[in-house]
Each structure stands twice: as structure tokens, then as C-alpha cells.
Amino acid sequence: MTRFEILYFPITYRAEPVRAILDYGDIEYKSIYPTNWPAEKSQTPYGTLPVLKEYESDSTEPSFVLTDSDAIQRYVAARYGLYGTSPADLKTNAQQDAVLGQWKDVMELLISAEYYSPTEEDKAAAFKKLGVAATHLLKKHDELLLRNGTGHYVGNKTTLADIAAYLSLELLAKMPIYKDTLEEHVGEGLQQDPAFKRYQERAAVRQAAY
């Protein structure tokens, strides 16, 4: 039986997509939090987090180790049916990648505005830039969800794109000016998916301990 370990800090951000995918699929995993990151950094493959370790059966040595949050989420999503694995999936994967990339651009603006603005003036300008980008994305993605007609970004079932969009909306909604964003813009298909509700319940417990 396959099991996973996710090495990341006790926060959401870059590791939350893979946690969500594994909770969604009811797949066993363990969160490992660094206790002394400067000392532990050299022990990781690339000196960055998150790191995913995959184990087979009762083995104590990982059969596969992967770094980079984008690579990790696509790999695990493909393993568990949320991202295509065959040539027939090229177009739907490309559609998912477009959604993922567009949300990533907005999230980078959010992080830059919140954490990397040296002055209040810079912060105001950064949030203004974020506002323009977020408003454009939400409008276009609402249109995309409406056009698809299933409550999902791609096809008629939950995919990585749906989950990643929800997690991005959740981060955006933590900003006071976007507090109603999550409920207004998350796809109806995802809201009604019982497997996703399992992730939400587990995430609430986990995040309460951070």
C-alpha cells in the first residue's frame, strides 16, 4: 500500500494542494514539519520545500522523492484521477494548466503585496495591482464555469483545477476586501462533492493546530 510524507512548514500555501488531493482521495499521508529549517535545508534534494516522499508497503526508504510544488501537485493529481495521464487528456490538461497558471499569477501578486512591500505606499500600489488582476480573473473564471455548465472548470467532475482554484480563493478571501470572494466564486460542482467536504473537514482540524 502506498503512503506519502509531505515535508513543509505548518502553514497552507505551497503544500496545501497536495494535502487537499490526498485528503480528497482518502490516501494515507503524514505531514512532517521542520524543527530547524536552516540545519535541515541541506538534507532536502534542492534546498526548498515542499518535498514529497512516496513509500511502498512497510518500507522505511522512499521509493520516490519529488520537489517543487507544481510538479508535486500534478504528479499526485494524475495518480488519483484529478489530472490526465494519457494522450487523450492533452487538451483537458492544457485547460487545467491555464487555470492553474492564471491563479498562480494572482497568488504571486498577493504574496508580493502582503509580504514584500517595503513601504506603505508600495503596499498600497501592490494591492491595487492585485485588485485589477483578481477582478479580471474572477470575471473570466466565472464566465468559464458558466460556459462549461457543470460547476467544474473542465469536464463534469472534480479536477486539480477545481481544487487549486478553491485554495487560491481561500487565500484571497483572507484579505478584508475579498472576504466574500470564496462563497461567491467557487464552482458549484466542487461545493457538492462529498470527497472535497472530507478534505475541508480534515483541513479545519489540521490548520487549527498550526
The tens digit of pLDDT for each residue in 65-101 reads 999 999 999 999 999 999 999 999 999 999 999 999 9
C-alpha cell at 32: 512532517
Residue 198 lies in a domain: no
In Å, how far are 149, 161, 164 from 157, measured between CA atoms? 11, 11, 14
According to the model, what pLDDT value does residue 80 have?
98
Would you state the pLDDT for residue 92?
98
pLDDT at 27 over 80: yes
Q: What is the C-alpha to C-alpha distance for residues 185 and 163, in angstroms, rounded to an integer?
A: 13
Q: Taking a C-beta distance cutoff of 8 angstroms, is the pair 162, 152 a contact?
A: yes
Report pLDDT for 135.
94
pTM above 0.75, yes or no: yes
Kindly state whether residues 56 and 40 are assigned to the same domain. Answer: yes
Q: What strands lie across the sheet with 51-56, from one edge to the other?
A: 29-32, 2-7, 51-56, 64-67
Domain encompassing residue 176: 87-192
Residue that is last in its domain, among 80, 115, 145? 80
Evaluate if residue 180 carries a pLDDT over 80: no
pLDDT of residue 57: 87
Instruction: Verify that 122 and 91 share a domain, yes or no.
Output: yes
pLDDT at 38: 97
Do 115 and 181 sit in the same domain of this protein? yes
Q: Are 29 and 180 in contact (CB under 8 A)?
A: no
Strand partners, 3: 55
Report whether 7 contacts 34 (CB < 8 A).
yes
- The verdict on 117 and 167 lying in the same domain is yes
User: Percent of the chain scored above 70 by pLDDT?
Assistant: 100
Query: 91 and 183: one domain?
Result: yes
Q: How far apart are CA 72 and CA 21, in angstroms?
A: 10
Q: pLDDT, tens digit, for every residue of 131-159?
A: 999 999 999 999 999 999 999 999 999 99
Contact (CB, 8 A) for 94 and 153: no
Q: For cell 461545493, what's the residue?
A: 191
